[in-house]
Amino acid sequence: MQIGDNVTSFPDEHRIKSSLLCTNGEIAVLVITSIILIFGFIGNLVTASKVIIEKKLHRPVPVCISCLAIADLLTLCFQYIRVPLSHCRVDISISTRETLMTITAVVVHSSAMHIILLALVRYGLIVHPFTMKYCLTSGKVVIASLLSWLLSLVIGLVYGWYNRQYYKGHVDENTDSIVQLAIALYILIVPICFFVSLYVAEMNVMRKSLLPEKSFYIKKISKMISLIMVSYIAFLAPYVIADSLRLLYMKKILSMDKGRFETMKNVMFNLARVFILLNYSINPFVYFLFIR
């Protein structure tokens, strides 16, 4: 995943000297992503605030969803900042750009970790309900959330170090294409693997413990899990495809002239930026439907 904007090489200067300039197509992308930002910002903010304010929601799963909403809110904002940086020529120092990309890496990873945390909380409550009822508290969920942020900070700093090496010219385009694709696959595959494996374990336990007349509940959960999985894959897949095409072109496996490739690459990354913003905008609503 292009957490930063490494798809374009920048001159080895302290500042990128240019003015804000967008074409009609780029303005359209900015408008669409701005609308998504507004609705996503409100949705995540309302979700987090509702859980914090209402005492009846001070339970492990709602608190975990609130932590996820906060992570998604920050990720949404920093992912949106990348849009004008990618589509318009902006007078910004490379150090500032590197800082923004490092923070983006932290929040993107944190969001993925909170998805895994939610899956683990649900697994514990379903498979070990009596034990988790007394052992798992909202406070422990918050502590787990903070640990997720700490891990994300470490990984974000590592990415920031790598990004500085790229801008200094110590990393070539071929290597960078591999790294960016690996990041995209990591963000996409790891949460899905946790969801699928824990979901299978949950369903096995529930089928053994629930009465036959309650099998409808199992089917309902199955449909909701499928919705979560499909939406997550659909919204993040364009980045994997775009990074894959870039790698294939850099390895000369994908043969086409540079102009055609640049056009195709821009279209794919435009779609990817829109879809990834949608992912962080609708997550709270999907998870609240899921918990209900």
Q: Which two tokens stand for residue 257?
A: 């002239």
pLDDT at 124: 83
* Minimum mean pLDDT range among 90-94, 130-134, 196-200, 254-258: 90-94
Please spell the DSSP secondary structure of 135-185, one letter per residue.
Answer: H--HHHHHHHHHHHHHHHHHHHHHHHHHHHHHHTT-S-HHHHHHHHHHHHH
* CATH, domain range 20-291: 1.20.1070.10
Please spell the DSSP secondary structure of 170-235, one letter per residue.
Answer: -S-HHHHHHHHHHHHHHHHHHHHHHHHHHHHHHHHHHHHHS-GGGHHHHHHHHHHHHHHHHHHHHH
Q: Is the pLDDT of residue 21 over 80?
A: no
Supply the pTM of this predicted model.
0.82
When pLDDT is cut at 50, 70 and 90, the band that residue 17 belongs to is very low
